[in-house]
Structure 1
C-alpha cells in the first residue's frame, strides 16, 4: 500500500511544471536553395551565377514557455540527450517580457540580420551601401524609456558612427558609465544620455534598433517563422556566392552560424551545440563557428563534422574556398587552435 502511494506521488511530482526550457536542434535551411515561400535568396537587378553544394543555416527549437511549461519528465528526457540543453525559463523568456514581446524581438532581430547580411555581402563585393539606424521600439521599464523614442534616427553612439545594430552594441559595451546618443528626431538633432543596465555580461539600454539600408539592387530573403540574428553570416555567404562567378563550395555541404555586422564582423550566438548536431543531421560535413563560441564548441563536436573558427566574413569565405580547392587546411583556425592561442 505504502509503495503504491509513493509511486503515485512520484508520478504526480514528475508531471508538475518545471522552471526550465529545453534547447534542441531545429530545422535547417540551405541559403542556396528554396523554402516553402520560394527561393531563400532572390537577387533582382544584378547578374547572378549558378551555385553548387549547400550553405546551410541552422536553428534551435525552444521547448517549453511560461504559458506551456515542460514537466520534470520532459526535462529528464532532455538531460539524457547530448544534443539538448536545459536552461532556466527566465534565461529564454525574461520575466519583464511576454512571450509575444519575446517573439516580436526575435522578428526584429531577424530583419536586422537580413539587412546587415545584404550590406556585408555587397560591401564585400565593393558595392556602395547607404545606411542609417532607427529605434524600432523601446522596452517598457528599460533605461531608454522616456529618453529615446520609436522612429529616432541614431547617428552616433559614444562618438562612433552608428553603421548598424552591431556597431551600436559594440559602442555601448566599450564605455563605462552613461551612453551618449546623437540622434535626429523629426529633423532636429539631439544629444541624449542613457545609463545602461547590466544583464550578465551585457550592457542593455532597452531599445530595438532597426537597420535601414539603401542598396543598389534588390536582394530578397524569404525565411518565414524564424527569428533571431544568428543566420546573418550564412545569409551573407549565400548572397556572395550568387553574385560571384563559380560555385564557392565546389559541391561541398557546409553549415554554419553567427551574427554578421555590415562591415563583416561575425559575432557569437546561442545554442551552438544544438546547431552542430542539426548540421550533422542535415548531412553537412563542414561547419563554420564564431570564434567567440569556441569555448562551447571544443569537446562537443559531433562525429563526422569538421569545424572551422571564423571572426569575419572573409575568414568564412577563405575556409570554404580552401576546402573547395582541396588545399591544405592546416593553417585554418579551428576552435581547438583558437582556444590555444587565446
Structure 2
C-alpha cells in the first residue's frame, strides 16, 4: 500500500519564505515612489476653438480666419505630485511607453512649494507668455507697444525674499532694460555672480543686489515676474486650465495668421513649442520628447522646435514627423511660408547631433 510522502520541515519553511518575500515585494510595489511621469498632454489648434470659444480673437475688421491647416500648441501632463505620489507599479508602467519620461519629483516640484503655489506660478507664467506673444506678433505686424514688468510673487526662502517685493516694477537688470520676463531671465543668466536690479517701488527708484542660487544649472533669484503691455488693438487668448510659458511661440504664430490675409500655413498641419519674448526670441522648454509624440498624435506633419532643445530632439523624433529648428518668430514664419509655397524645404534648419 502506498502513502503520499510527507513534506519535511525545511521544504515547508522554504515555501513560506518565498510567499513572505513575494508578499513583501507586492506590498512595496504599491508604496509611494519619489518619481513623477511626464507624458503628452492635450493639444490645441491656435487657429481653432476651445470650450471657451475661439482660442485667439482679434478685431473683426482685421481678422482673416484660416480655414485650412493648423498651428497646434502642445502640452505635457505630469502624473504624480507630492500630495498624490505615484506607486512603484505606476512608475514601472511608464517604462513600457516610449512617450513617457520618469523624473525625480524634486525636479518638478520644489520641496517648499505647495501644489497650489506651483499651479499659481504656472498661471502667471501662462498670462505673461500670452502677453509676450501678443507683443511679439504685433511688433512683427508693424504695431508699436508700451511695456513694463512687475513682480507678481517672491518665493519664500529665496534670495529675493526681503529684498524685492510684490508690485515692484523692474526697470533693468544688470544694466539691461527689462522689456519683458525673458529679458530679465537672460540678464540674470548672463552674469556670473550677483545681479543688480533697478526697480521702482511706490514711485521711488531703488537699486538692489541679489546673489542667485543654482537650480538644475540655472541661476534663480526667486521671483515670478509678470508682463504688462499696452496694446494698440484688442487681442485675446482663451485657453483655460493650462499653465506655463511654453506655448508662447504658437500663440504668436496664431495671432500673425489671424492678422494676415490668406493662409499662412497653406493647408499644412504644423505643431510646435517654445517660449517667446516680446521681441520675438524663441526659448527652450521642457518635455520636448513628449510634445513631439503629442504632435504626431494630433496629426501634425511638421514640428517647430527651439534651437536650444536640439540636443533632446536628435535621436528622439517619432517616425512621420519633420522637425525644423527655430531661434526667432521670424524663423518660424519663414519655415511655415517655405513649406506652404512649395519652396526648398531642404534648406530649412534642422537639429543635428553635436
TM-score, normalised to structure 2, is 0.94
- Per-residue CA shift, 1:25-45, capped at 9, x if unaligned? 000000000000000001127
Q: What's the offset of the Cα at 1:190? A: 1.1
Instruction: Provide the residue aligned with 1:121 in structure 2.
Output: 137
Aligned to 1:12: 27
Deviation (angstroms), 1:5: 2.3
The answer to whether the aligner puts 1:63 opposite 2:86 as a matched pair is no
Note if 1:270 corresponds to 2:286.
yes
CA distance in structure 2 between the partners assigned to 1:199 and 1:25 by the alignment: 25
Query: Which of residues 193, 201, 223 in structure 1 aligns to 2:209?
Result: 193
Whole-angstrom distance in 2 between the partners of 1:133 and 1:19:
36
- Distance in 2, matches of 1:46 and 1:307, equals 35
Check if 1:252 corresponds to 2:268: yes
Which of structures 1 and 2 has the bigger CA Rg?
2
Deviation of 1:137 after TM superposition, in Å, equals 1.0
- The offset of 1:198, in angstroms, is 1.3
Residue in structure 2 matched with residue 24 of structure 1 by the alignment: 39
Equivalent in the alignment of 1:208: 224
State the alpha-carbon separation in 1 of the partners of residues 60 and 167 from structure 2: 30
The C-alpha deviation readout for 1:269-304, integer Å capped at 9, x for no partner, is 000000000011111111000001011010010111
Secondary structure in 2 aligned to 1:274?
helix
- 1:85 corresponds to 2:130: no
Q: Are positions 1:39 and 2:54 aligned together?
A: yes
The alpha-carbon deviation at position 200 of structure 1 amounts to 2.1
Give, in angstroms, the shift of residue 79 of structure 1.
Answer: 1.0
SS of match in other structure, 2:347: coil
8 A contact 1:260–1:267 mirrored in 2: yes
Residue 174 (structure 1) shift? 0.8
Alignment of 1:241-320 (within 5 A): 241-320=257-336
In the TM superposition, 1:156-167 aligns within 5 A as 156-167=172-183
How far did residue 194 of structure 1 move? 1.0
Q: Report deviation, 1:46.
A: 5.4
| Maintained 8 Å contact 1:46/1:217 | no
Residues 53 and 253, structure 1, Cα contact 8 Å, conserved in 2:
yes
Q: Gapped runs of 5+ residues in structure 1? A: none
**CA–CA distance in 1 between the matches of 2:184 and 2:95?**
37
Q: Secondary structure at the match of 1:251?
A: coil
RMSD: 1.0
Compare 181-190 and 269-278 and name the one that shifted more: 181-190
1:232 aligns with 2:262: no
Q: Secondary structure at the match of 1:218?
A: coil
How many residues were matched structurally? 338
Structure 1 distance, partners of 2:189, 2:24, is: 50
Counterpart Cα distance in 2 of 1:237 and 1:121: 7
Q: Check whether the contact 1:173–1:203 (CA below 8 A) recurs between aligned residues.
A: yes
TM-score by length of structure 1 reads: 0.97
Deviation at 1:261, TM superposition (A): 0.4
List aligned pairs for 1:93-132, cutoff 5 A. 93-132=109-148
Q: For 1:6 and 1:176, locate their aligned partners in 2 and report how far apart those are by CA, in whole Å.
A: 53
SS at match of 2:300: coil
The answer (yes or no) to whether the contact 1:57–1:234 under 8 Å persists in 2 is: yes
For 1:109 and 1:254, the matched residues in 2 are separated by 24
